[in-house]
Structure 1
Amino acid sequence: MKSQVEQQGIVTLTSEATESMRSSELWNDDLRPTTLKEHTWSGLNFATLWIGMCLCIPAYTMASGMISLGMNWWQAIGTIFLGNVIVLIPILLNSHAGTKFGIPYPVFARLWFGSKGAHIPSMARAIVAAGWFGINTWIGTTAIDVLLSASFSTWANLTGHTAIIFALFWALNVGVAYKGPQAIKVLSLLAAPIVGIAAIVLLIWAFTSAGGFGPILSTPSKFTTTGSFLKIFFPALTGVIAFWATLALNIPDFCRYAKNQRSQMIAQSFSLPLTMSIFSFIGIAVTSATVVIFGTALWDPVQLLAKFPPYVIFLGTIIIAIASLTINVGANIVAPARAIENLYPKRITFGLGALITGVFAILMQPWYIMSNFGNYIFGWLGTYGALLGPIDGIAIADYWLVRKKQMALQELYDPKGRYSYSSGYNKNGIYALLIGVAIPLLGLIIPGARFLWDNAWTFGLFIALFTYTYFMRNDHSILRSGEYEKITHFSTGTDTQPPEFIAK
Structure 2
Amino acid sequence: MAPTPLSAATPLDAPSADSVAPGAVALSPRLYSADLAPTRAANRTWGRYSLFALWTNDVHNIANYSFAIGLFALGMSGAQILAAFALGALVIYGLMNLSGYMGQKTGLPYPVMCRISFGIHGAQVPALIRAVIAIAWFGIQTYLASVVLRVLLAAVAPGLRELDQDSILGLSTLGWITFLGIWSVQLVIFAYGMEMVRRYESFAGPVILVTFAALAFWMYQRSGFSITWSTGEGYSGSTMWLKVLGAAALWVSLYGTMILNFCDFTRNCPDRRTISVGNFWGLPVNMLGFAFIAVVLAGAQFSIDGKLVQSPTEIVASIPNTAGLVLACLAFLIVTVAVNIMANFVAPAYVLTNLAPKLLNFRRAGLLSATIAVLILPWHLYNSPAVILYFLGGLGALLGPLYGIIVTDYYLVRRGRVNLPELYSESRDAAYHYRRGVNLRAVAAFIPSALIAIVLALLPAFESLSQFSWFFGAGLGALIHYAIAERHAEHPDVSGEEIAVDSAHH
TM-score category, normalised to shorter length = 0.7 to 0.9
Q: Which residue of 2 aligns with 1:244?
A: 255
State whether structure 2 residue 19 is matched by structure 1 residue 16: yes
SS at match of 2:371: helix
Q: Deviations over 1:140-188 (max 9, x none)?
A: 1111212322333212222421221111111212332232221110001
C-alpha distance in 2 between matches for 1:235 and 1:360 = 35
Change over 3 Å in CA distance of 1:251–1:245 after alignment to 2: same
Q: How does 1:340-351 map to 2 (within 5 A)?
A: 340-351=352-363
SS at match of 1:362: helix
C-alpha distance in 2 between matches for 1:387 and 1:493 = 34
Give 1:403 shift.
0.3
C-alpha distance in 2 between matches for 1:228 and 1:284 = 17
C-alpha distance in 2 between matches for 1:148 and 1:448 = 46
Question: 1:382·1:454 contact (CA, 8 Å) conserved in 2?
Answer: no
Change over 3 Å in CA distance of 1:21–1:322 after alignment to 2: farther
| TM value normalised by structure 2 | 0.87
Q: Deviations over 1:79-121 (max 9, x none)?
A: 2332232233221111111101111000000111111111100
Question: 1:79·1:236 contact (CA, 8 Å) conserved in 2?
Answer: yes
Change over 3 Å in CA distance of 1:322–1:307 after alignment to 2: same
State whether structure 2 residue 268 is matched by structure 1 residue 266: no
Change over 3 Å in CA distance of 1:229–1:147 after alignment to 2: farther
Letter in 1 for 2:382: M
Letter in 2 for 1:63: A
Give 1:445 shift.
9.6
State whether structure 2 residue 405 is matched by structure 1 residue 400: no
Question: 1:206·1:213 contact (CA, 8 Å) conserved in 2?
Answer: no
| TM value normalised by structure 1 | 0.87
Change over 3 Å in CA distance of 1:330–1:100 after alignment to 2: same
Question: 1:397·1:465 contact (CA, 8 Å) conserved in 2?
Answer: yes
C-alpha distance in 1 between matches for 2:502 and 2:64 = 44
Q: How does 1:143-292 map to 2 (within 5 A)?
A: 143-159=148-164, 160-215=173-228, 217-223=229-235, 226-227=238-239, 230=242, 232-233=243-244, 235-292=246-303
Q: Deviations over 1:428-464 (max 9, x none)?
A: 1111111111233454799976555441100110111
C-alpha distance in 1 between matches for 2:112 and 2:285 = 31
Give 1:201 shift.
1.5
Question: 1:5·1:489 contact (CA, 8 Å) conserved in 2?
Answer: no
SS at match of 1:116: coil
C-alpha distance in 2 between matches for 1:88 and 1:466 = 22
Q: Which residue of 1 aligns with 2:450?
A: 437
State whether structure 2 residue 363 is matched by structure 1 residue 360: no
Give 1:338 shift.
0.8
Select 1:415's aligned residue among 410, 426, 437: 426
Count, aligned residues: 487
Question: 1:41·1:258 contact (CA, 8 Å) conserved in 2?
Answer: yes
C-alpha distance in 1 between matches for 2:224 and 2:481 = 56
Change over 3 Å in CA distance of 1:447–1:323 after alignment to 2: closer
Q: Which residue of 1 aligns with 2:322?
A: 310
Q: Which residue of 1 aligns with 2:117?
A: 112
Q: Which residue of 2 aligns with 1:72?
A: 77
Give 1:371 shift.
3.1
Question: 2:106·2:501 contact (CA, 8 Å) conserved in 1?
Answer: no
State whether structure 2 residue 55 is matched by structure 1 residue 42: no
Give 1:278 shift.
1.6
Q: How does 1:22-101 map to 2 (within 5 A)?
A: 24-101=29-106
Question: 1:90·1:392 contact (CA, 8 Å) conserved in 2?
Answer: no
State whether structure 2 residue 341 is matched by structure 1 residue 329: yes
Q: Aligned Cα RMSD in Å?
A: 3.1
Give 1:255 shift.
0.6
Q: Deviations over 1:233-260 (max 9, x none)?
A: 5553332112111011111111111110
Give 1:368 shift.
2.7
C-alpha distance in 1 between matches for 2:312 and 2:462 = 38
- Structure 2 unpaired stretches of 5+: 1-5, 165-172
Change over 3 Å in CA distance of 1:46–1:203 after alignment to 2: same
Give 1:11 shift.
8.0
C-alpha distance in 1 between matches for 2:448 and 2:333 = 41
C-alpha distance in 2 between matches for 1:305 and 1:490 = 51
Q: Which region of structure 1 is more displaced relative to structure 2, 194-203 or 287-296?
A: 287-296
Give 1:303 shift.
2.6
C-alpha distance in 1 between matches for 2:412 and 2:259 = 18
Change over 3 Å in CA distance of 1:96–1:224 after alignment to 2: closer
SS at match of 2:486: coil
Letter in 1 for 2:49: L
Select 1:126's aligned residue among 119, 128, 131: 131
Question: 1:234·1:455 contact (CA, 8 Å) conserved in 2?
Answer: no
Change over 3 Å in CA distance of 1:168–1:489 after alignment to 2: closer
- Structure 1 unpaired stretches of 5+: 495-504
Q: Deviations over 1:286-343 (max 9, x none)?
A: 2332345566343422232223211112212221111001100011111111111110
C-alpha distance in 2 between matches for 1:298 and 1:489 = 51
Change over 3 Å in CA distance of 1:241–1:381 after alignment to 2: farther
Question: 2:400·2:471 contact (CA, 8 Å) conserved in 1?
Answer: yes
Question: 2:8·2:25 contact (CA, 8 Å) conserved in 1?
Answer: no
